[in-house]
């Protein structure tokens, strides 16, 4: 009997929060999930354990998305050890925020956010894209933010990075569409994660038509839709998961 090849999905920043939920959801969709993380190995291992408990499979893949050489070394090593396989689904989720009004913002606050959120997307996508193009198959989903669409005071760095991600996704979608590759964006609003735990959810929810913060699983479901055959004719689009909030 011919051995069925695994389908691989890479999720950057997959150890916690939205990234962890996406890893679990993609595993349920049948993918062997490559769980990228920078430093929190314990959280990554917990995500992998959840996947395995649900009958799925995954592999930990540590590297800092903002460091070009780390990205190239980790992904080249994986490609060398899997010569007949390729990463079919890429979810660029890794992100950080360093909020401050621009007048008070330190240069490293700008650089860290742009390097991780925007440059990290570039380094990882550039490495993975070649095989997708050769195979004429692939799904890329970039996790942006409502800030990248409307801007948020105190987040000029974050909004710039996420806005750049959205623009890059629309351009890339046009470049690779003829090769059978789709590129889309999921832009969450306020979602219950450790990045929003310091916010006043009760007050902010009054401005959200659905009157609550979103759940990380709801973002993961949007991702699973965009990588499915049901979304085969959708590319270059931004799917907002924001409870109806438009700032």
**Token pair 């009958």: residue:** 55
Q: In the block, which residue shows the tokens 């408990």? A: 53
246 is catalytic: no
* Cα 131 from Cα 108, distance rounded (Å): 34
Q: What is the phi/psi pair of residue 6, to 5°?
A: -75, 150
- Report the 10 Å Cβ neighbour count for 181: 22
Residue 10, H or E segment: strand 8-11
Centre a 10 Å sphere on the Cβ of residue 66 and count the other Cβ atoms it contains.
Answer: 21
How big is the chain by its Cα radius of gyration, in Å?
17
Question: Which entry of 31, 158, 233, 246 is annotated as an active-site residue?
Answer: 158
> Which active-site residues does the annotation give?
158
């Amino acid at each position: 009997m011919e051995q069925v090849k695994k389908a691989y999905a890479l999720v950057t920043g997959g150890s916690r929060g939205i990234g962890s939920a996406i890893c679990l959801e993609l595993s349920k969709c049948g993918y062997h999930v490559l769980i990228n993380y920078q430093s929190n190995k314990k959280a990554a291992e917990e995500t992998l354990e959840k996947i395995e408990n649900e009958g799925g499979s995954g592999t930990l893949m540590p590297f800092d998305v903002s460091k070009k050489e780390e990205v190239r070394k980790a992904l080249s090593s994986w490609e060398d050890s899997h010569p007949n396989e390729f990463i079919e689904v890429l979810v660029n989720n890794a992100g950080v925020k360093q909020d401050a009004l621009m007048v008070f913002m330190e240069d490293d606050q700008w650089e860290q956010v742009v390097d991780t959120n925007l440059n990290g997307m570039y380094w990882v996508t550039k490495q993975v894209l070649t095989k997708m193009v050769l195979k004429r198959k692939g799904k890329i989903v970039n996790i942006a933010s409502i800030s990248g669409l409307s801007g948020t005071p105190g987040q000029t760095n974050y909004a710039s990075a996420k806005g750049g991600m959205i623009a890059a996704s629309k351009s890339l979608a046009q470049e690779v569409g003829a090769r059978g590759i789709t590129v889309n964006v999921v832009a969450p609003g306020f979602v219950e994660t450790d990045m929003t735990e310091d916010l006043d959810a009760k007050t902010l929810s009054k401005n959200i038509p659905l009157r609550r913060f979103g759940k990380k699983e709801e973002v993961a479901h949007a991702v699973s839709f965009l990588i499915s055959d049901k979304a085969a004719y959708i590319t270059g689009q931004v799917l907002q998961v924001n409870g109806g909030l438009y700032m």
